[in-house]
Every structure is written in C-alpha cells, then in structure tokens.
Structure 1
Amino acid sequence: MTINFQLGRPAADARIVVAMSGGVDSSVVAALAAKTGAEVIGVTLQLYDHGEAVKRSGSCCAGQDIYDAKTVCDRLGIAHYVLDYESRFRTGVIDRFADEYAQGRTPVPCSLCNQGVKFTDLIGFARDLGADCLATGHYVRRVEREGSVEMWKGRDPARDQSYFLYGTTRDQLDYLRFPLGDLPKSETRRLAVEAGLVVADKPDSQDICFVPDGDYAGLVKRLRPETAAPGQIVDLEGRVLGEHQGVVHFTIGQRRGIEIGGQPEPLYVVRIEPEEQKLVVGPRRALAVAAARVEGINWLAENQVEVEAKVRSLAKPVKGSWDGERLTFAAPEYGVAPGQSAVFYDGDRLLGGGTIVATEAAVIDEAVAA
C-alpha cells in the first residue's frame, strides 16, 4: 500500500518525522513513510523514569516500547531518537490528572497529553529537524478542502480518536499527517505483518498509559493523600445515608461502591464536594443534564450554533446548540461531568471542543423516569 503524505515536493527531497510509541499503529506509519522514498526519522518520547518504565506493561512510551520502536526503525533502516520528557509529562499530565480528581472532576488525560508533549513539543522538534511533516498513528483523517485543512473522524468508528484531538490547532493540523485514518485496525496489522515488524501482534496500549493496571485511585492517593480521607454520603436533601472511604474512589455517575441498602431506587454519585469530603447521591434521573458550560474552546472549523456533541470518548454524539458559552442538549444527557471534554462535530467533521466546567440539571418527571 502506498500513502500520499502530501509533502508538497518530491519525496526524494523530503523528510518525514514519525511519532513512534512502540505500538503497531505508529510502527506501520513509519513503514508507510519509508515506502515513499523520503528520509524518515522515528522519534519516541520517554515519559517515565528508566527504572519505572522497564517494569511497565500495557502502556506506551515505556521501556519495552522504546526498545520495540528502535527495533522497528532498525528493520526499516531509518534513524531513531528518544526524547526524555519524563519531567514535562509528570507536571503537564500526571499532576494535572491528580489535581482534577482531587477537585471531584473527571479528567481526560489523553487530551492533555496530545495538546502538550505529543503535539506541541514533537512538532517543535520535527520543525527543528527541517521535516516537511510530523506523522502519527492516530485514527483520524486530515482533509484538504476548499483551501483549508480539516480534521474528520477516522473512517472506522471503532477506532476513531478525534475526541482526544480537539485541542489540535489549525497550524498544527497543517503540519500533521494521519496515514491510518482510512484504515480498519485489521488492515494496519496486516501491513505490519507484510513489513515484517515485530510488533504486528502486539496488544493495544491502555487508554491512560500511566495507569496500566487501571488503579486510578491508587495513583491519585499516592500523589494527593487527602483524597483518601473518609467522609459522609448524603442524599439530595442533605440527609446522611452512610460513609465512604475517600472521594478518590468515585466519579459522577458511578453506582459501584456506594453500598447503601434499603433504598427504593439504586443510588448514583450526583455530585462530589471534595473540600468537605462529601458524596451527594441520588436516583439515576438526578444525573440528567440539560446544559453544560464549556471553557477553553479550540475551534478547528467555524463556530456553529447547531452541533453534534460528544461528552465521553465511548458515547455517541448527540444533538445540541452552542451559544458561545453553554452547550444545551436537545434531550437530557446522562453521564456528563466537569472535567470531561465536550467535542463538537458536523457529521464526521470535527469542529472543535473544550472542557466542561459546570452542568445544569434537567428536570425529569419521576413518573416518566420510572
């Protein structure tokens, strides 16, 4: 398979930098870039200190992953650099993740990472090398249309990663290339086998690379011990129903772990009040949200009033309207929490997005909800 990297000049005179995590996706991108005849340079970020990185599995940009990326580059006959970004990643992503949890929010660290070290810094490094573009293994499409560059969802809905890339600027998008945007994962793995890459059967990394064991609470407790303090569980009227063993164990919309019996309906976390170490719980209808206030908006396309909004990575976009500050849902939406990303679409085209900072409850008739 040959991919057009849209270099703007003959490939023999061009240079492509590939962001390589050590996984199959970015490795195939490197192989596709090498096929063009351009000079290709692989770059891997070391995001953890060496002792910790070697022990990690199921993550990305760790010890084994760095070795895998180098092995792929050796196979392809291209140069490979490793950049030590451990300190910058800790302050820009891990510490912010812990701070958000400590404030009772639901953070999206992959978006923070893409807006920081993975795009801003890598693009700067690629430009310093005189590269014509930076190519990544993300499953999104870069579409040139009517004199502008747009980001579209990956053609395979199961692999689309546009939700995490809403913070990409127009200048960055002009420089980036996403060769896998039109492919299903099965084709990517086939190409890896065809190229003889050792990572062809390597499992996909975890969504949150720095918590490969899935124990978010354990990480946050180590970094922000105050989040493990016990506190009260109260209902919507403030009546004490029981106790919890730390707000770090809960996010808005969660049912598991409340463990309060004798209630007429299942209880969910409706609100977290971290300063008082308090959980406010209620029935599912109390989670219904009519609107959300969104800040830090980045527009990749024109600002539209009528949008399709996605508020969780695995959720389907829903219809809504945007007035410059508030996103109002066409129908009550559930599972919306401060800290999450609200990403706007027009069909497959990504318009932009920002961070939810507050929500407005929807009034749901009890009889209808039942």
Structure 2
Amino acid sequence: MARDIGVNSLGFAKPPSETRVVVAMSGGVDSSVVAAELAVEGYDVIGVTLQLYDHGAALAKKGACCAGRDIHDARRVAETLGFPHYVLDYENTFRDAVIEEFADSYLGGATPVPCIRCNERVKFRDLLETARDLDADCMATGHYIQRRQGEARAELHMAADPARDQSYFLFSTTQEQLDYLRFPLGHLASKAETRALAAKHGLGVADKPDSQDICFVPNGDYAAVIEKLRPGAADPGEIVDMEGRVLGQHRGVIHYTIGQRRGLGIGGLSDPLYVVRLDADNKRVVVGPKEALSTRLVPVREINWLGDAPFDSAAEWPVRVRIRSTKQPSEAIIRPTGPTSAEVELLTPEDGVSPGQACVFYAPEGSRVMGGGWIWRGY
C-alpha cells in the first residue's frame, strides 16, 4: 500500500526534495530568507536574479533593487546554501515595459506606479515563464502578501503585518499566476522576524537596508529622470485657476502632482490653492481650493478581477478600495461598465485622486484581495 506523504509546506503532495521551486532573488533580505528557508526544508531550489538595468548607468543608485551589489548578494546567498543561481539580463525588457511607460505617463500628467508594472510585465510574466521552462513546480518571492487556498480557488490576501503589506503593488496578479506563485513571508508578524531568520541562517544580508520602491529613480527625483529620458520635458507653462485665469508660471508640468500645495510660487492670495489637475497637452497646471480635490466617483480600467464570480456578472460589488499604498482600504461600490472597466464610488470622498494610480479592491470584510485596476481620469 502506498504511503500517504501528505502535503508539503508549498502545497504539493510530494516530499520537498521532489518539489522544484524557483526563487526570485533581488539580493535583499526578504527573498534571501525565502530561498534559505526553502533550501533548509529540503526543496530543490533554484535562485534567479534579474538584472534590470546597468548598475553603472546614471539611472541606478547604490542599494537599488537588482543593481550590481544586489546581484552579488544574491549569488553569495546561493553559494552559502549550495543551490544553483542564475542571473538573467532583462535590461531591455525592463526599459521597454516599465521605464519608458513611466516617462510617458508622467509627461501625460499622470502619477504612475512603475513597481506594479514591473511585477505585472517582468517578474510575474517573463520570470514566471522562465520558472516553467526550468520545470519548477512553483515560483516563490519575498513579497509580503498571502496566498490561501479557498473553497473555489487560490486566493490573494493581505499580509499578516499591515505595515509590510504589499497587496497594493500586486493587484494585477492573475488567477493563473496566483495558482503558480508562493509567498512564504506573508504570514510573518513583522520584518524583525524576517531579519531574525536571516541571522539564523548566517546570511550576510540580515541587516541590509530595504531598497527603495522605485529602484531606478535616484534620490526620489522623478523629474530629473524624466528630463534625462525625455529631453525638453520640463518646458515651462502657465499656472491657472479653475476658470482659466493665469496666476503665474511653472517650470514644467512634470514637477507637480495632484494635491500639491507647496512650491507653486503664487503667493499673495488670500486662500491656499492646491494642484487639482495637470493639463499636459496645454502645459498648464490647474489649481483650486482644497474642496476641489475631493473625489467620490473614480473611473477605473484594465481591471484584474480575482473574485469567484465573473466581474460583470453583477450590477455592483460592495468592496473596500485603496487608491494609495499608504492608506487603509475604505468602503466603496464598484459598478462594472464592461469586462475590465468600472466606475468606483467612494462612500467617503478622498482628496488628490490622480490618473495613473492604482485602485485596489478588497472584500468588504477580511483580508482577501479582489483585484484592482488603473485610475484613468481622477477629475
């Protein structure tokens, strides 16, 4: 009679030694701990690191994800634990799929989130296909998010630690990808636990600082990167009020964001004014009172839906939504306008909703991520 071996920690009914897992290794502490834990458990681990840009180029910075130092750190972890490690050159793919769109979106007056596009178009598409080519049973990453097996299918849930939750950046994970992916750190209560595991395994990255969200933007200076990628992008123009009256001059639309108050250079007015719209076509920055920033209805497109029933099978979906990574989800109603588009009604209006941001959907109660989409007009 065959021995019942049960299900291993990655959800497969076979021993870890017969389960091949590709670990996406950025060189940071999170993915290094994932690789170390799985290797110690006896899994057939293969580490893969993507070189996303030339670490010596002007766009890169020390400590940035997938730059030269990080590749070295990932390789050292693999050598320490004795599993194979490969570095793949994805520089052209990353530039075409992420950096170029980032520049174009910014020029168009949007506020892009390139980390989501990187997960969607590089890590969870091309790298995942590489994992399949290597005959891996699954691919594991160091993201702080949870994959749970629901009654109908695998579900995406927020991380146990709200301070580390990365669900906002992973909303575009498709069901097919979710079936293949694993997120071993999502259940941890704090980053301190991750660092303690790194120290336990003797990893040199145990105290390594976290990388910045946007890896290719030195010192957070988006405008400098855009000007380098698109010479002439910082052409000056007019600052106007909501009736079109000229109040001053600006030094380039790319230097402004929706909701900005400081640095407008239009002092002397009785009431404070905020950036309420960026008219990139006419090189205008539109300003208005704070109440003009309040938004209740948000059009969303390119929706990725992770619910059990088809997205447009209901007239509306009561959910909670998050339109910024730093805010907690708030109550809303989604009204589908097509298979991948909708109007989202925020039950509590929010300020500063901007095109290019993500609108991420959560179940009315609990931690389940229901998907999300892209805000394409926030005014």
TM-score strictly above 0.5: yes
2:355 is the counterpart of 1:338: yes
Residues 76-225 of structure 1: pairs in structure 2 closer than 5 A: 76-183=81-188, 184-225=190-231
What SS does the corresponding residue of 1:193 show, helix, strand or coil?
helix
* Contact 2:55 2:61 survives alignment (8 Å): no
Q: How big is the shift at 1:284? A: 1.1
Q: How big is the shift at 1:7? A: 2.8
How many residue pairs get aligned? The number is 358
Letter paired with 2:94 = F
Q: How big is the shift at 1:53? A: 8.5
What SS does the corresponding residue of 2:219 show, helix, strand or coil?
coil
2:375 is the counterpart of 1:356: yes
- Deviations along 1:274-323, one digit per CA (max 9) or x if unpaired, are 11110000111110001111000001124461110100110111111111
* Contact 2:24 2:141 survives alignment (8 Å): yes
What SS does the corresponding residue of 2:57 show, helix, strand or coil?
helix
2:283 is the counterpart of 1:266: no
Q: How big is the shift at 1:55? A: 6.4
For 1:243, the equivalent position in structure 2 comes to 249
Misfit runs of 4+, over 3 Å: none
- Deviations along 1:126-149, one digit per CA (max 9) or x if unpaired, are 000000110000000000021410
Rounded to whole Å, the distance in 2 between the matches of 1:352 and 1:250 is 29
TM (normalized to structure 2)?
0.92
RMSD: 1.4
* Contact 2:60 2:216 survives alignment (8 Å): no
| Residues 253 and 190 of structure 1: CA distance in aligned 2, closer, same or farther (over 3 Å) | same
TM (normalized to structure 1)?
0.94
Identify the match of residue 309 of structure 1 among 318, 321, 331: 321
Identify the match of residue 32 of structure 1 among 9, 31, 37: 37
Could you tell me the percent identity over the aligned residues? 56
| Residues 150 and 289 of structure 1: CA distance in aligned 2, closer, same or farther (over 3 Å) | same
List gaps (5 residues or longer) in structure 1: 361-370
Rounded to whole Å, the distance in 2 between the matches of 1:56 and 1:8 is 43
What SS does the corresponding residue of 1:205 show, helix, strand or coil?
coil
* Contact 2:59 2:216 survives alignment (8 Å): no
* Contact 2:321 2:362 survives alignment (8 Å): yes
Q: How big is the shift at 1:50? A: 4.9
Q: How big is the shift at 1:208? A: 0.4
Letter paired with 1:343 = V
Letter paired with 2:373 = G
Letter paired with 2:251 = Q
Rounded to whole Å, the distance in 1 between the matches of 2:271 and 2:39 is 59
* Contact 1:341 1:354 survives alignment (8 Å): yes
What SS does the corresponding residue of 1:275 show, helix, strand or coil?
coil
Rounded to whole Å, the distance in 1 between the matches of 2:244 and 2:77 is 58
Bigger CA drift: 235-244 or 250-259? Answer: 250-259
What SS does the corresponding residue of 2:148 show, helix, strand or coil?
strand
Bigger CA drift: 98-107 or 145-154? Answer: 145-154
